[in-house]
């Protein structure tokens, strides 16, 4: 004898699946929120410092200019087909003047070399005379606020921090979507919650439409 499942019998199964799904979404929302708490807090705070750097003395910067000399043999290749000893030049600047940041440019012409470094809230530029090895080095630091603002933007922060920014953005998406899904399982708050979400989206849209030049 073939037993067919009636609609009434199928409803409890769907209800159990719905309860399990809601429990999973709740678990996901809670623990992803906790896992990404520091990242979310960091990007929230730096959103304010980025938008108002003057509130936190973000416009203050320190600049230092120094002079030095490097072995000219590193700058003048022994043969026409040779190259400037870039690695040795970079290491000299780092050790002699505590230069930090990533090397972003090493430009060589007939008269001089330009070596540029950049990092979060930091920049250094060295101009080296190829004839005698004399150089001037300028370093600019923008303080803590400048550092965290560049980290917020992922600027001059390297591939690892770029991955942190991407993962943080993904966590925010998961937190937002899981929270939106959860509201549909709260009967008393479902309609008010959806209305508030729609109202918030409309407010942001109107502010952009009327407030952004």
pLDDT per position as a tens digit, 120-160: 999 999 999 999 999 999 999 988 888 999 999 998 898 99
pLDDT at 202 over 70: yes
Where b means 16+ CB within 10 Å and e means fewer, 94-125 reads eeeeebebebeebebeeebbebbbbbbbbbbe
pLDDT at 116 over 90: yes
Cα–Cα nearest to 70, from 125, 130, 110: 130
pLDDT > 90 fraction of the chain, expressed in percent and rounded: 42
What integer pLDDT is reported at residue 80 of this predicted model?
Answer: 59
**98 or 57: which carries more pLDDT confidence?**
98
What integer pLDDT is reported at residue 88 of this predicted model?
Answer: 93
Q: What is the Cα–Cα distance from 164 to 46, expressed in whole angstroms?
A: 15
What integer pLDDT is reported at residue 99 of this predicted model?
Answer: 94
Question: What are the tens digits of pLDDT across the range 17-68?
Answer: 888 888 898 999 999 999 888 988 999 988 888 888 777 755 577 899 999 9
pLDDT at 10 over 90: no
Cα–Cα nearest to 139, from 170, 92, 199, 93: 93
What integer pLDDT is reported at residue 142 of this predicted model?
Answer: 87
Average pLDDT over residues 100-119: 93
pLDDT > 70 fraction of the chain, expressed in percent and rounded: 92
If residue 46 lies in a helix (H) or strand (E), which one and from where to where?
helix 37-51
Paired tokens of 3: 């037993």
């Amino acid at each position: 004898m073939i037993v067919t499942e009636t609609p009434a019998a199928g409803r409890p199964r769907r209800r159990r699946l719905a309860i399990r799904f809601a429990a999973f979404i709740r678990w996901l929302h809670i623990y992803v929120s906790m896992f990404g708490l520091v990242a979310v807090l960091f990007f929230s705070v730096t959103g304010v410092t980025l938008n108002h750097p003057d509130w936190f003395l973000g416009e203050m910067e320190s600049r230092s200019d120094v002079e030095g000399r490097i072995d000219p043999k590193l700058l003048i290749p022994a043969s026409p087909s040779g190259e400037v000893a870039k690695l040795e030049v970079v290491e000299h600047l780092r050790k002699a003047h505590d230069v930090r940041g990533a090397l972003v440019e090493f430009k060589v012409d007939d008269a001089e070399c330009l070596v540029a470094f950049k990092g979060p809230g930091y920049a250094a530029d060295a101009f080296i005379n190829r004839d005698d090895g004399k150089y001037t080095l300028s370093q600019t630091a923008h303080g803590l606020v400048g550092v965290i603002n560049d980290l917020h933007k992922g600027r001059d922060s390297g591939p690892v921090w770029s991955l942190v920014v991407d993962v943080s953005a993904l966590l925010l998406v998961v937190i937002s979507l899981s929270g939106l899904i959860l509201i549909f399982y709260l009967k008393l708050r479902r309609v008010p919650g959806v209305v508030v979400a729609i109202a918030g989206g409309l407010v942001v849209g109107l502010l952009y439409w009327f407030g952004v030049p």
